[in-house]
Amino acid sequence: MQDAKIDIKSMLPEELSALLSDMGQPSYRAKQLFSWLSRDAGSFDEMSDLSKELRAKLSEKCFVYAPKVLRKQVSALDGTIKYLWELEDGNAVETVVMRYRHGNTVCISTEVGCRMGCAFCASTLGGLVRVLTPSEMFSEVIASERDSGLSISNIVLMGIGEPLDNYENVIRFLQLINHPQGRNIGMRHISLSTCGLVDGIDALAALDLQLTLSVSLHAPDDETRSRIMPANRACGVEKLMEACRRYYEKTQRRISFEYIMIDGVNDSDRQAKLLASLVKPIGGHVNLIPLNHVEERALKPSSPERIAAFQKVLEQKGVNVTVRRSLGGDVDASCGQLRRKAGK
Ligand code: SAH
């Protein structure tokens, strides 16, 4: 049973060293092993510079997690690729590879489903099934890279799930993907998006990583935010903004605030002014996102005119603001459209 075996793709080189030395092996083998795992080796048999005996010993103790592609869709509009991976237990999650001029970016899922309940998002329909392991997240990046033949330079944790609701595994994933002996993707090339879990933001601040924190704000007042984002009911906007300030003061990294534009819900000039008063003092950047269509949801995107007017209010208040271009719309790969699917 794989359950009883060690998930070797979730292990850091230092841990591989300890494992190997317990097996009477020299520690430099850990480097070789980690390098294979970081290139998405699918089994120990592929690791041709390790002896047959060692490979056999390793496969007695450990398993190499290797996801299967259940479906691959390529957008005819912009070349965005959406993968549906089958996990070992039959669950499935989606990963999106986006091609930008500044480099290829992979958007990964962090959980099977989500328990945050946001009123506009497809990922939370059906709730949370389980969190993803570090190796599953690691593989989303390296298996996408291997299958697509594209080199990935940026990672966004903006797929299915709430990364700060799976904190330990997400941090380990970051250590795996960032490790100089492996994929070595710099923290400055990684963005983590959260619906605003205050304890998680504080824990992340304490680590002082150089990644970009994105906060899905979507409303500047508690009445609206609690209505569309149930997670807000626990803390409220004020406590969230205080955590953002602490994060900014500790890391000196500008926070990006995501703001979906929903017709008649959060797109008034009054809300734009309130939003400006929240983000301006901490130098936050605002990313306006026209609502993407989710079949089960009745909400509508704001009109382009309303978005432009909202943007203008923010600009007049001196806030740095951009409107997000949507990619992969024809294959339902845009923000909020990713959903859990049954595997088998
Ligand atoms: N749970 C994290 C990570 C998911 S990120 C978070 O909430 O940030 C996915 C991003 O897409 C979030 O900013 C989310 O609010 C946004 N999103 C969700 N549904 C959307 C929709 N229908 N249209 C546009 N963006 C959406």
pLDDT digits (tens, 9 = 90+) for 65-78: 999 999 999 999 88
- Give the closest residue (by CA) to ligand 1 atom 8: 194
Q: How far is CA 297 from CA 122, 130, 131, in A?
A: 8, 24, 25
**How many Å apart are CA 273 and CA 318, to the nearest integer?**
11
Give the pTM: 0.94
Can you tell me the mean pLDDT for 153-177? 98
Residue 341 pLDDT grade (very low, low, confident, very high; cuts 50, 70, 90):
low
Confidence (pLDDT) at 247: 98
* Nearest atom within ligand 1 for CA of residue 215: 8
pLDDT digits (tens, 9 = 90+) for 88-115: 999 999 999 999 888 999 999 999 999 9
Q: Is the CB of 121 under 6 A from ligand 1?
A: yes
Contacts 24+ apart (CB under 8 A), 36-40: 37/8, 37/9, 37/64, 37/182, 38/142, 38/176, 38/179, 38/181, 38/182, 38/183, 39/142, 39/146, 40/66, 40/139, 40/142, 40/143, 40/145, 40/146
Residue 135 one-letter amino acid: S
Q: Is the CB of 336 under 6 A from ligand 1?
A: yes
| Catalytic status, residue 335 | yes
Q: How far is the CA of 90 from the centre of ligand 1 (A)?
A: 25
Token pair listed for 142: 């390296």
- Give the closest residue (by CA) to ligand 1 atom 7: 195
Conformational region of residue 218, where left means phi above 0, alpha means psi within -120 to 50, and beta covers everything else:
left
Can you tell me the mean pLDDT for 226-240? 97
| Catalytic status, residue 94 | yes
- Give the closest residue (by CA) to ligand 1 atom 26: 336
